[in-house]
Structure 1
Amino acid sequence: MAYLQINHFSAALSKMASLAVIVPEGAGPFRAVYQLHGLSDDHTAWQRRTSIERYADRYGIIVAMPDGARSFYANAPDSPDRYEDHILETVALVDRMFRTIDGPHARGIGGLSMGGYGAMKLGLKHPRVFGSIAAHSACMDMRAYHRDRAFPDLAHFFGPTFPKSEDVFALATASRRSRSARPRIRIDCGIADFLIDHNRRMHRHLDRLGIAHEYQEFPGEHNWEYWDQHIDQALRFHVTSFAQATSASRRAVRARRASPRAAKR
């Protein structure tokens, strides 16, 4: 098991960026999870504040933790702060640097609070990149916070009017109509968390859309004690999703080979 701190030039941000990566022992190839931090943290927080390294070792997966600043993982409309693009280029960087399995069947995204919102948004927007989403205590309704002058970062990253392309409720609705395979989704939140209503509304929204997902509430608040207790479940969800996606892909290949049309060829 190795824990690496990587400084690299980000074309999306036009500056140097930081990335923490947990790499298990062995030759690989490895499945990978991209773990996003919250508003007041950085790329080191997951490793410092939880047992994520121990769980990554247990499941034999790479965990990559990029620095998202206070961006809500958005592309700012009038500046070089393009953090959505930065996460996507980080995926390409990790694939170049490590022996990973390319494709959504072997790649997941997760996060907490701001990072939970980022995981939902990026996972729903890019189903050909990420095949599973695990969001803890996510700030789901960014429309409400966009109107709050206490968060000046939001106007910078979203512009004066909150765009539909950043609304995870709208993205979930759009994903139902998409022909692309939808990522598997897991959401959890503490019952005493101030964002519990956001998560309950998303749960109800996904139910109304008929989108299968896991939703769980546990005792706890919006803090590291809660996230440390539940990161193991989230990583296990990704690993199970990888296995299910791989099995489904193999069944599809066998079905195509066994079809009458394939037999004629």
Structure 2
Amino acid sequence: MAFLDYHYFSQALGKQTAAYVLLPETGVGPFPVLYLLHGLSDNHTIWLRRTAIERYVANLPLIVVMPDGGRGFYADAAEGYAYGKAIGEELVDRIDKTFPTQATRDGRVIAGLSMGGYGAARLALAYPERFRAAHSLSGAVGFGHKDPNWDDARTPEFKRIVGDDYKGGDCDLYALAEKNQAAGTLPQLRIDCGTEDFLLEDNRAFTKFLTEQGIPHEYEEFPGAHTWEYWDLHIQDALKFFFP
């Protein structure tokens, strides 16, 4: 595959940012696109550095875009950067203009881990006209729904993202899922989490809510913790989910 280190100025962020892009050498475009999101402590380089994602997609007619999401949870912060708009709108439009993409909802899927697992679900639910499906791996799916007063050093940072009236807002996956259900715009959803992961109960609570509301989704638990060994293995499940 071809690999591009893609740097550009983001109007939504008001600064330079970057993404890694993998381009296929099989098939004839236009190609579908997988947006692949990183977690809180990483950046756009991490999926390529810590997993075999390039090898897993080597024989697929697929473009993979790995953007830098900062520590913004892929949302438009109440006080801070608009990472939701920057990636869900601006980057998607830029990628479609630059590369031979299948520039439709059916041509776009999104996945991520931890913060990025939340972000994948959030962007798919915030922009259902743009993304056909989302896969959350070990996602922080309670973010924006649970009280952000976690009594640690991250609380002020997280509160600046979700704001004071967070429940039922644009950061709340529970509210976004209900909104899409009412509008008939639900993307396909898949969620997985390791049985030793500290986010397991949040994932169980969210999928329980989806089940109770009759919102279609897939959910699986596997042995494993919040580790790259887990994500390297189960990103392969995401690819099978998106492209059976």
Could you tell me the TM-score, scaled by structure 2's length? 0.93
Structure ID, larger Rg: 1
Q: How has the CA–CA distance of structure 1 residues 239 and 162 changed in structure 2, closer, same or farther, with 3 Å as cutoff?
A: same
1:238-261: CA deviation from partner (whole Å, max 9, x where unpaired): 123xxxxxxxxxxxxxxxxxxxxx
How far apart in 2 are the matches of 1:154 and 1:78?
10
1:196 aligns to 2:197 (yes or no)? no
1:46 aligns with 2:47: yes
8 Å Cα contact 1:111-1:118 kept in structure 2: yes
| 1:9 paired to 2:6 | no
Is residue 205 of structure 1 aligned with residue 209 of structure 2? yes
1:94 partner amino acid: I
- Secondary structure of the 1:65 match is strand
Q: Tell me which residue corresponds to 1:178.
A: 183
Matched residue of 1:128: which SS? coil
Comparing 203-212 with 43-52, which one deviates more in the overlay? Answer: 203-212
Q: Which amino acid aligns with 1:11?
A: Q
Matched, 1:71 2:72: yes
Aligned-residue sequence identity (percent) comes to 43
Residue aligned with 1:35, SS: strand
Determine which of 154, 162, 173 is the counterpart of 2:166: 162
Counterpart residue number, 2:120 = 119
Point out the more displaced range, 67-76 or 150-159. 150-159
> 2:97 and 2:162 mapped to 1: Cα distance?
31
* SS of residue in 2 equivalent to 1:169: helix
Query: Equivalents in 2 of 1:92, 1:67: separation in Å?
Result: 16
Q: 1:216 aligns with which of 209, 217, 220?
A: 220
Residue type of the alignment partner of 2:193: C
Q: Deviations over 1:130-181 (max 9, x none)?
A: 000000001111133611242132122222342522110111122210133x
Q: Is the 8 A contact 1:70 1:153 kept in 2?
A: no
Distance, in Å, in 1 between the alignment partners of 2:184 and 2:231 is: 34
Corresponding residue to 1:237 among 229, 235, 241: 241
Which among 146, 149, 152 is matched to residue 148 of structure 2?
146
Structure-2 residue corresponding to 1:245: none
**Gap runs ≥5 in structure 2:** none
SS of alignment partner, residue 58 of structure 1: coil
Write the deviation string for residues 12-36 of structure 1: whole angstroms up to 9, x where unpaired.
Answer: 0011011111111144111001011
State the 1:78 CA deviation: 3.5
- Does the CA contact (< 8 Å) of 1:33 and 1:64 recur in 2? yes
Question: Which residue identity lines up with residue 59 of structure 1 in the other structure?
Answer: L
Contact kept, 8 Å, 1:139 with 1:195, in 2: the verdict is yes
> Map of 1:80-95 to 2, 5 A cutoff?
81-87=81-87, 88-95=89-96
- Give 3-state SS (helix, strand or coil) of 2:220's partner: strand
Moved more, 32-41 or 22-31: 22-31
C-alpha separation in 1, matches of 2:166 and 2:215:
25
The count of aligned residue pairs is 238
Superposition TM-score, scaled by structure 1 size:
0.86
Q: Does the aligned pair in 2 maintain the 1:146–1:162 contact within 8 Å?
A: no
TM-superposed CA distance for 1:3, in Å, is: 1.4
CA distance in 1, matches of 2:60, 2:175: 33
> Which residue type is aligned with residue 164 of structure 2?
P
